[in-house]
């Protein structure tokens, strides 16, 4: 395929780019040129800020006929999407939008299916709430332009994504680091809430499979791992991969401040399970990594490319926004 990817240099888009290049697809990426990455040979890079529609039009002018598929990793607001629809509608076969499982309202039944209701599309607070509200607005816009103008959109809804090249040091990498440092691990409640996340390379495979399927046009799909894991299980599996012993400290929900509210990265107070059956039925997607294999694969990369030596480890910080001093207070209070 001749592919245009919006994004492509940080994590999810970058791994998708690597998968596309391995399979011999011809890829052009468009981003601002701020995030550095070693790109596969033959990838073309165009430059524009998605928030500036005129710049996006200029960067893509004359290229309207050149692509079969677009992967959109940087669509956060409807106004980012409009110029792409205007320039490419009727000219491409497929547009795949990276959304999020955060678009769903809280559900009392599990697993969450794609037809379950949206959360409010009004962001109540900056950060996660407005991010997910704006993704709902994007989805509605895309499904509407599919119905009214034939825009060949497919929406993919991953929950949290983990894996090699994850730039977010406060995610799985922070568990690797804490365990290697012999730190106690904070867990919310009893540690029995279910966490459902997916490996980045499985997500990349789903993107490519969706783009090559006619059945996926005008549809939304959960894309996630094949299994959910309890918070206790997540910590134990990561510890066994790292070769460390996990000592857990349980913190009642509602007792941690700010970003610690879930207590630990990847963990939520409510169970999360997303059905991925629809993607399997429509375009044959099923994850290759179970949770243990996915974590082992990720640790292999992290050990060589990040490791304790390469992350910012100062007395107050572990990676970019983990406050160890505050965590120590919590460990003392609840340990």
Ligand X SMILES: NC(=O)c1ccc[n+]([C@@H]2O[C@H](COP(=O)([O-])OP(=O)(O)OC[C@H]3O[C@@H](n4cnc5c(N)ncnc54)[C@H](OP(=O)(O)O)[C@@H]3O)[C@@H](O)[C@H]2O)c1
What residue ranges bind ligand X (CB under 6 A)?
7-14, 31-35, 49-51, 73-74, 98, 100, 158, 160-161
Least separation in angstroms between residue 128's CB and ligand X is 11
Residue with tokens 């910080």: 317
Residue with smallest beta-carbon separation from ligand X: 13
* Nearer to ligand X (CB atom), residue 113 or residue 249: 113
Least separation in angstroms between residue 245's CB and ligand X is 28
Are 154 and 96 in contact by the 8 Å Cβ rule? The answer is: yes
Question: Which residue in 272, 241, 264, 268 sits closest to 334, CA to CA?
Answer: 264
Are 303 and 218 in contact by the 8 Å Cβ rule? The answer is: no
Where b means 16+ CB within 10 Å and e means fewer, 194-205 reads bbbbbbbbbbbb
CA angle at 272 for the pair 266 and 277, rounded to the nearest 5°: 120
Are 7 and 73 in contact by the 8 Å Cβ rule? The answer is: yes
CA–CA distance, 311 with 307 (Å, rounded to integer): 7
Least separation in angstroms between residue 332's CB and ligand X is 31
* Nearer to ligand X (CB atom), residue 132 or residue 330: 132
* Nearer to ligand X (CB atom), residue 7 or residue 225: 7
Least separation in angstroms between residue 37's CB and ligand X is 7
Least separation in angstroms between residue 101's CB and ligand X is 7
* Nearer to ligand X (CB atom), residue 158 or residue 191: 158
Which DSSP helix (H) or strand (E) runs through 302?
helix 291-305
* Nearer to ligand X (CB atom), residue 31 or residue 298: 31
Helix (H, G, I), strand (E, B) or coil at 279: helix
Helix (H, G, I), strand (E, B) or coil at 5: strand
Least separation in angstroms between residue 47's CB and ligand X is 8
* Nearer to ligand X (CB atom), residue 12 or residue 260: 12
């Amino acid at each position: 395929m001749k592919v245009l990817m919006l994004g492509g240099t940080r994590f999810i888009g970058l791994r998708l780019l690597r998968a596309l290049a391995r399979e011999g697809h011809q890829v052009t990426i468009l981003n601002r040129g701020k995030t550095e990455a070693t790109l596969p040979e033959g990838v073309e890079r165009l430059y524009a800020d998605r928030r500036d529609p005129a710049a996006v039009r200029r960067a893509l002018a004359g290229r309207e006929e050149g692509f079969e598929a677009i992967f959109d990793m940087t669509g956060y607001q409807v106004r980012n999407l409009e110029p792409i629809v205007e320039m490419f509608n009727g000219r491409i076969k497929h547009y795949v939008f990276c959304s999020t499982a955060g678009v769903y309202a809280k559900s009392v039944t599990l697993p969450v299916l794609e037809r379950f209701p949206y959360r409010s599309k009004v962001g109540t607070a900056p950060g996660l709430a407005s991010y997910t509200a704006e993704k709902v607005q994007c989805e509605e816009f895309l499904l509407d332009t599919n119905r009214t103008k034939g825009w060949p959109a497919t929406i993919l809804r991953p929950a949290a994504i983990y894996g090699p090249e994850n730039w977010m040091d406060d995610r799985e990498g922070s568990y690797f680091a804490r365990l290697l440092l012999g730190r106690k691990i904070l867990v919310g409640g009893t540690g029995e809430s279910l966490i459902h996340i997916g490996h980045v390379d499985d997500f990349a495979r789903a993107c490519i499979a969706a783009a090559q399927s006619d059945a996926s046009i005008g549809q939304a799909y959960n894309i996630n791992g094949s299994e959910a894991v309890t918070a206790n299980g997540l910590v134990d599996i990561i510890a066994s991969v790292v070769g460390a012993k996990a000592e857990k400290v349980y913190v009642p929900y509602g007792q941690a401040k700010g970003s610690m509210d879930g207590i630990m990265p990847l963990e939520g107070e409510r169970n999360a399970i997303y059905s991925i059956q629809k993607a399997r039925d429509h375009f044959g997607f099923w994850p290759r990594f179970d949770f243990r294999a996915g974590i082992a694969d990720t640790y292999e990369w992290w050990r060589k490319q990040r490791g304790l030596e390469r992350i910012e480890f100062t007395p107050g910080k572990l990676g970019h926004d983990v406050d160890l001093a505050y965590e120590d207070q919590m460990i003392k209070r609840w340990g």
